[in-house]
Chains A and B, each alone.
Chain A
Amino acid sequence: SYELTQPPSVSVSPGQTASITCSGDKLGDTYVCWYQQKPGQSPVLVIYQDRKRPSGIPERFSGSNSGNTATLTISGTQAMDEADYYCQAWDSGTAVVFGGGTKLTVL
């Protein structure tokens, strides 16, 4: 079965750029979504179709996907961005796969 690999944790200083990666075999051949989940809350879609932002998501969130790696980039990271982030892709367009999640710490 298809697997997506994320680093367990990423740390960033306020105002700096955070990059969270998601790796999978030929991941660039499909589309990737990213979800943000804060403690005790439901996940929120922050990026879909590799680089599109839903309405209401700040411009500091951006995405890219090429080769075997997709990346979520948060520019000018704020304390409110501290959360768990999950990447998600489709396996053969029929099955959904999530990464293991990355805990973003803003310190």
Chain B
Amino acid sequence: QITLKESGPTLVKPTQTLTLTCTFSGFSLSTSGVGVGWIRQPPGKALEWLALIYWDDTKRYSPSLKGSLTITKDTSKSQVVLTMTNMDPVDTATYYCVHISYSSGSKSYFDYWGQGTLVTVSS
């Protein structure tokens, strides 16, 4: 059974750096064909993809946020960490961690989602 859970601060101040941790079980990020990604959703708005990392340490970032995001994995701890610098109130959102079943490029899909964690950016 695959599960993912997001953890991190619920409140950050503008200009601060956000660090979110995804702790997962039921799979290994050292197994070929597996990835973990981050997706966020501002209150009442659409989903927005942020970043992903594959078993082979390939990383992809949203072009619009690339300069502010870093994604890393710790296979031994079954964790993926996302850092986002220079947080702004517009970054207030629920942040989801997802399991990716990888095939060739565009065949990949997000088949398991965490419960999400609401992060509010406010002074």
Chain A interface (Cβ < 8 Å from any Cβ of B) = 1, 30-31, 33, 35, 42-45, 48-49, 54, 86, 88-90, 93-101
Q: Which chain B residues lie closer than 8 Å to A30 at the CB level?
A: 106
Q: Are A48 and B47 in contact (CB under 8 A)?
A: no
Listed by A's residue number, 29 A-B pairs whose Cβ atoms lie within 8 Å are A33-B109, A35-B110, A42-B114, A42-B115, A43-B47, A44-B113, A45-B110, A45-B111, A48-B111, A49-B103, A49-B107, A54-B111, A88-B47, A88-B49, A88-B109, A88-B110, A89-B106, A90-B105, A90-B108, A93-B104, A94-B105, A95-B49, A96-B37, A96-B52, A96-B60, A97-B49, A98-B39, A98-B47, A101-B46
- Given A30-B106, A89-B106, residue A42 in contact with residue B116 (CB < 8 A): yes
Q: How far is the CA of A86 from the CA of B106 in the complex (A)?
A: 16
Question: Which residue in A44, A54, A95 is a CB contact (below 8 Å) of B62?
Answer: A95
Query: Which residues of A are found within 8 Å of B63, using beta-carbon distances?
Result: 1, 95
- 5 smallest CB-CB distances across A and B, nearest first, come from A93-B105, A96-B49, A90-B106, A48-B109, A42-B113
B76 within 8 A of partner (CB): no
Residues of chain A lying within 8 A (CB to CB) of residue B116: 42
Given contacts A42-B115, A44-B113, A96-B60, 5 further A-B contacts (CB under 8 A): A31-B107, A49-B103, A49-B109, A88-B49, A96-B39
Chain B binding surface, main DSSP class: mixed
Task: Tell me if B57 counts as interface (CB < 8 A to partner A).
Answer: no
Residues of A with C-beta under 8 A to B24: none
Docked complex Cα distance between A100 and B48 (Å)? 9
Q: A1-B63, A33-B110, A45-B110 are in contact. Are A98 and B105 (CB under 8 A)?
A: no
Given A1-B64, A42-B115, A42-B116 in contact, is the A100-B46 Cβ separation under 8 Å? yes
